[in-house]
Chains A and B, each alone.
Chain A
């Protein structure tokens, strides 16, 4: 009963913010927003909106970004704020 209420509360709440690593991934590969936009078939302004979290991608666009970067979707997008990649890699190596 409690889980159902939490799910309903989530559905009734405002749209969730999708956090992303697009700026980091783009800069790592030396790409401009226009380069990334051309690669995934959107306008460069849309890349800007995605990076700022002002727009949430469709599943199709998320998959295209995932394919382009060669990373799983959950490594690029998250419902929770993403930790720095360097921190995640350090802890992964330590464990």
Chain B
């Protein structure tokens, strides 16, 4: 399977997607989401139009990073079924899922412990439906994109070496 020719816009984008750009997309996706949720929380508290505009911009940043992950060869590298991959590609995919599970399980465990301690100590916990949604969508984003993000972060640059 030649990922470098696979894309949704009819353009060959594989070679142009350097590791720096891929890592930037990962940072934009996750930090963008965190920043968007945080600023939205502030915007709701202060009813500031400027902050709501900033929320929109951060949302666009997140979506642009997510778009790179989902539409590039990275998504197939992390999610394609066995028949579409050779033995090395399957190893890359399986390793991405292993690391994703370790990170995800660790995060969920940490959140569970935090919730238990926070409940006893009166620390912050999601109290409104909007706050619950923010956490829920964050967990969903992580669950669905973490393998692709790991591949995007770790794979070396595709070389022009046909």
Q: A32-B162, A34-B162 are in contact. Are A46 and B2 (CB under 8 A)?
A: no
Q: Which listed residue (A33, A34, A46) contacts B88, Cβ 8 A?
A: A46
List residues of B (1-60) whose CB comes within 8 Å of A's CBs. 1-3
Main secondary structure of the interface of A (DSSP, over half): helix
- Indicate if the CB atoms of B161 and A48 lie closer than 8 Å: yes
Interface stretch, picked from A1-9, A36-44, A75-83, is A36-44
Return chain B residues, CB-CB under 8 Å to A45: 88, 158, 161
B156's nearest neighbour on chain A, judged by CB, is: A54
Q: Which listed residue (A41, A42, A48) contacts B159, Cβ 8 A?
A: A48
Give 15 A-B pairs besides A42-B86, A45-B158 with Cβ atoms closer than 8 angstroms: A32-B162, A33-B162, A42-B87, A42-B88, A43-B2, A43-B89, A44-B2, A45-B88, A45-B161, A46-B86, A48-B159, A48-B161, A49-B88, A60-B87, A61-B87
